């Protein structure tokens, strides 16, 4: 099995050391990625949401993910969508977020100033995103990304490489440019949990639902 001594879903809490090196280099993440691509069966849904990984693990417990998930749940029914997490972790269906090694690492790419490491991340993550998009080409009807920075670039490049479109990519470039020009943020493009981004995300998701989905939602 690609997962070594642990079954998929085994968190290994209390006996697995915290991984702190850039995770995209580590064999544990390549093995887990191969398991998802080669063995894991992704259930069909109308929409896939691609959200960036978070420092807090599991990802769904992070404040930003809780805000984003709350908005999604207010607009769509659970049966309509699937959340996929991507970034320094590679790419993983959210229901596997406690599987080793996804709940067992701590790394922030935003604090990395090494150009080589950042370029390596973009190259590796582009390949992993493309692989997942190819695997799920016929699993989802639509794909929505909510991301910034290098994560956003990896999603864009992965989409192009796979030939599988991202149907809605947020925040919009205009909204990002406004934040860069007007806000004093720790990171140049700010945070996805900023009200200005979340408000646009909610508005655009409602618009997307009303245009593309036949079934009513919450």
pLDDT at residue 186 in the model = 74
Helix (H, G, I), strand (E, B) or coil at 86: strand
Chosen CATH of 23-208 out of 3.40.50.2000, 3.40.50.10630, 3.30.460.80, 3.20.20.20: 3.40.50.10630
Helix (H, G, I), strand (E, B) or coil at 115: helix
pTM across the whole model: 0.90
| Strand residue runs (E) in 88-184 | 90-93, 140-146, 168-170
**Chain centroid offset of residue 33 CA:** 14
Domain positions in the chain: 23-208
Per-residue model confidence as pLDDT tens digits over 149-167: 999 999 999 999 999 999 9
* Residue closest to 155 by CA, chosen among 128, 193, 187: 128
pLDDT band at 214 (very low <50, low <70, confident <90, very high): low
């Amino acid at each position: 099995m690609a997962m070594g001594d642990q079954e998929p879903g085994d968190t290994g809490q209390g006996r697995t050391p915290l991984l702190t090196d850039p995770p995209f280099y580590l064999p544990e993440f390549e093995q887990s990625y191969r398991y998802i691509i080669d063995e894991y069966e992704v259930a069909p849904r109308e929409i896939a949401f691609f959200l960036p990984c978070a420092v807090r693990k599991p990802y769904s417990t992070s404040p930003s993910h809780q805000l984003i998930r709350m908005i999604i749940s207010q607009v769509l029914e659970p049966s309509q969508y699937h959340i996929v997490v991507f970034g320094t972790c590679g790419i993983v269906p959210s229901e596997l977020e406690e599987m080793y090694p996804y709940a067992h690492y701590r790394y922030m790419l935003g604090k990395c100033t090494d150009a080589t490491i950042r370029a390596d991340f973009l190259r590796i993550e582009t390949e992993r995103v493309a692989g997942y998009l190819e695997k799920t080409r016929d699993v989802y009807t639509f794909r929505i990304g909510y991301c910034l920075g290098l994560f956003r670039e990896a999603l864009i490049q992965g989409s192009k490489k796979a030939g599988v479109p991202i149907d809605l990519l947020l925040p919009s470039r205009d909204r990002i440019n406004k934040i860069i020009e007007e806000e004093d943020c720790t990171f140049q493009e700010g945070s996805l949990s900023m009200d200005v981004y979340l408000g646009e995300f909610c508005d655009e998701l409602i618009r997307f639902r009303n245009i593309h989905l036949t079934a009513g939602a919450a």
